[in-house]
């Protein structure tokens, strides 16, 4: 299968390699030339303009986007739409706001171009070895390109969840839950660290991650973090991000749900810019481990 791919950041590059491993031919495009050439060395087909990308894909184009949410997505879609024909498909795997995805779907639908919004989770490891994907859009379009999601995802790791916007909506709430979980784990481990018992936090993370109720992917990354530096003394402790969490909070208010754990986690992230603690260092370190997020809280 031949697939187009735009956006060769940390997540995008790993997703391309995953697709290549599954036997796909992947034509890649990125704003910076060096990243295209780097991916060519790893088996991708380089394209150096939108026209070049679409020419190399031929008919029945399927193009995946993994670019920063916002205007960048609109710019890419506007450029691509010039070269796409009826029945061809764009898949946005980035963290776009779901209302924007609905607008993009309506715009492209008028031109007969399919558009799917795919919430993508699993961090860098998931991108490389198999992600978790929630997909929204027209079901017939999803069925048409389902093999792409099967190749990108881990076992049982993708689902069509509903109409346009639903894939990114689900991912947004996922991120809100993630914020709250990270904060809870961080504060729990801070209590253990400060106790009189001189506990081995890495050992506790290992035991909890084998059979306990709090077993999770977050604890997988916690083990990796503690294995290298249990004291976290080289971590500044300022937590970056927050955009998707704030959006999730807005949605919760709209739906009249008190998302108290997320509200608290967002508050602690903001406070971490001036006052750090072991728990804020924990959150920053684990975010860096699973997503490559800036360890300095930017």
Please give the average pLDDT of every successive group of 10 residues along the chain, which has 298 residues: 97 98 98 95 97 96 96 97 97 97 98 98 96 98 98 98 98 97 98 98 97 97 95 93 93 98 97 96 95 81
CATH hierarchy code of domain 171-291: 1.10.1040.10
> For position 298, what pLDDT does the model report?
64
Residues contacting residue 113 through CB under 8 Å, at least 6 positions apart: 81, 84, 85, 86, 87, 88, 89, 90
- Kindly list the distances between the CA atom of residue 29 and the CA atoms of 20, 46, 225, in Å, as whole numbers in the listed order: 15, 6, 33
Counting Cα atoms < 13 Å in the Cβ hemisphere of 233 gives: 1
> For position 233, what pLDDT does the model report?
92
Q: Are 125 and 101 in contact (CB under 8 A)?
A: no
Residues annotated catalytic, as ranges: 171, 178
> For position 241, what pLDDT does the model report?
85
Distance CA 47, CA 27 (A): 6
For the chain, give the longest Cα–Cα distance: 67
Q: Which residues share a beta bridge with 120?
A: 133
- In this structure, is the dihedral angle defined by the CA atoms of residues 269, 69, 249 and 162, taken in order, positive or negative? negative
CA 22 and chain centroid, separation: 20
Residues contacting residue 105 through CB under 8 Å, at least 6 positions apart: 115, 117, 137, 164, 165
CATH hierarchy code of domain 2-163: 3.40.50.720
For the range 38-47, what are the long-range contacts, defined as Cβ-Cβ under 8 Å and sequence gap of 24 or more?
38/8, 38/13, 39/8, 39/13, 42/16, 42/17, 43/17, 44/5, 44/16, 44/20, 47/4
> For position 267, what pLDDT does the model report?
97
> For position 296, what pLDDT does the model report?
81
* Prediction pTM value: 0.94
Distance CA 257, CA 216 (A): 25
Distance CA 214, CA 209 (A): 7
Domain boundaries, the chain: 2-163, 171-291
């Amino acid at each position: 299968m031949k697939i187009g791919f735009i956006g060769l950041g940390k997540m995008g590059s790993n997703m391309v390699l995953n697709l290549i491993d599954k036997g796909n031919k992947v034509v890649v495009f990125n704003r910076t030339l060096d990243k295209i050439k780097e991916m060519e060395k790893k088996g991708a087909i380089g394209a150096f303009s939108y026209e070049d990308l679409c020419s190399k894909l031929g008919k029945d184009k399927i193009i995946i986007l993994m670019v920063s949410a916002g205007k960048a997505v609109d710019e890419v879609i506007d450029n691509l739409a010039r070269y796409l024909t009826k029945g061809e498909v764009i898949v946005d795997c980035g963290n776009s706001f779901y209302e924007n995805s609905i607008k993009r779907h309506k715009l492209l639908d008028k031109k007969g171009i399919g558009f799917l919004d795919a919430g993508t989770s699993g961090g860098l490891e998931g991108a490389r070895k198999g992600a978790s994907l929630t997909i929204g859009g027209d079901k017939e379009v999803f069925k048409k390109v389902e093999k792409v999601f099967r190749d990108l995802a881990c076992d049982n790791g993708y689902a069509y969840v509903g109409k346009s916007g639903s894939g990114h909506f689900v991912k947004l709430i996922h991120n809100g839950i993630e914020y709250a979980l990270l904060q809870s784990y961080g504060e729990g481990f801070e209590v253990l660290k400060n106790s009189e018992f001189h506990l081995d936090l890495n050992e506790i993370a290992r035991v909890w991650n084998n059979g306990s109720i709090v077993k999770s992917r977050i604890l997988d990354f916690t083990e990796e973090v503690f294995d290298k530096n249990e004291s976290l003394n080289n971590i500044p402790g300022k937590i970056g991000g927050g955009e998707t969490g704030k959006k999730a909070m807005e949605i919760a208010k709209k739906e009249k749900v008190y998302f108290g754990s997320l509200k608290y986690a967002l508050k602690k992230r903001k406070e971490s810019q001036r006052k750090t603690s072991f728990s804020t260092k924990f959150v920053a370190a684990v975010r860096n481990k699973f997503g490559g997020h800036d360890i300095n809280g930017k």
